Structure 1
Amino acid sequence: MADPMTQSTQISSSQGLNEGHTATSKDSKFSVNDLVHWRDPKKSGVVFGLSMLVLLSLAAFSVISVVSYLLLALLCVTISFRIYKSVVQAVQKSNEGHPFKALMDKDVTIPPETFRKHVDLCLTHINCALKKMSRLFLIEDLVDSLKLAVVMWLMTYVGAVFNGITILILADILLFSVPPVYEKNKTQIDHYIGTARNQVNSTMAKLQEKLPGAMKRCKTE
Structure 2
Amino acid sequence: MHSLLEWLSSHGVVESLIYWRDPKKSGPVFGGVLVVLLALTYFSLISVVAYLSLIGLSVTVAFRIYKNIVQAVQKTGDGHPFKDLLDLDISLSQDKVREVSEVAVAHINAAVVELRRLFLVEDLVDSIKFGVLLWTLTYLGAWFNGMTLIIIAWVALFTLPKVYETNKTQIDANLEIVRTKLAEISSK
The reply to whether residue 135 of structure 1 matches residue 113 of structure 2 is no
Larger mean CA deviation between 137-146 and 189-198 belongs to: 189-198
Aligned residue identity for 1:122: A
Separation (CA, whole Å) in 2 of partners of 1:68 and 1:28: 34
Separation (CA, whole Å) in 2 of partners of 1:193 and 1:120: 43
The reply to whether residue 63 of structure 1 matches residue 45 of structure 2 is yes
Coordinate RMSD, CA, aligned: 2.8
- The answer to whether the 8 A contact 1:182-1:189 is kept is no
Aligned residue identity for 1:167: L
Separation (CA, whole Å) in 1 of partners of 2:181 and 2:120: 29
Deviations 1:24-69 (A, max 9, x none): 9466664223322223222111111001100111112111111111
Separation (CA, whole Å) in 2 of partners of 1:167 and 1:114: 32
The reply to whether residue 50 of structure 1 matches residue 32 of structure 2 is yes
Structure 2 matches for 1:1-221, cutoff 5 A?
A: 25=7, 30-184=12-166, 185=168, 187-188=172-173, 191=176
Runs of 4+ in 1 over 3 A off after TM superposition: 24-30, 186-200
Aligned length, in residue pairs: 180
Separation (CA, whole Å) in 1 of partners of 2:127 and 2:81: 59
Identical columns (%): 47
- The answer to whether the 8 A contact 1:59-1:165 is kept is yes
- TM-score (norm. length: structure 1): 0.71
Separation (CA, whole Å) in 2 of partners of 1:116 and 1:97: 38
How far 1:170 sits from its partner (Å)? 0.8
How far 1:189 sits from its partner (Å)? 7.0
Deviations 1:136-160 (A, max 9, x none): 1121222221111111111111211
| Bigger-Rg structure (1/2) | 1
- The answer to whether the 8 A contact 2:64-2:81 is kept is yes
Structure 2, unaligned runs of 5 or more:
1-5
Separation (CA, whole Å) in 2 of partners of 1:177 and 1:74: 29
- TM-score (norm. length: structure 2): 0.82
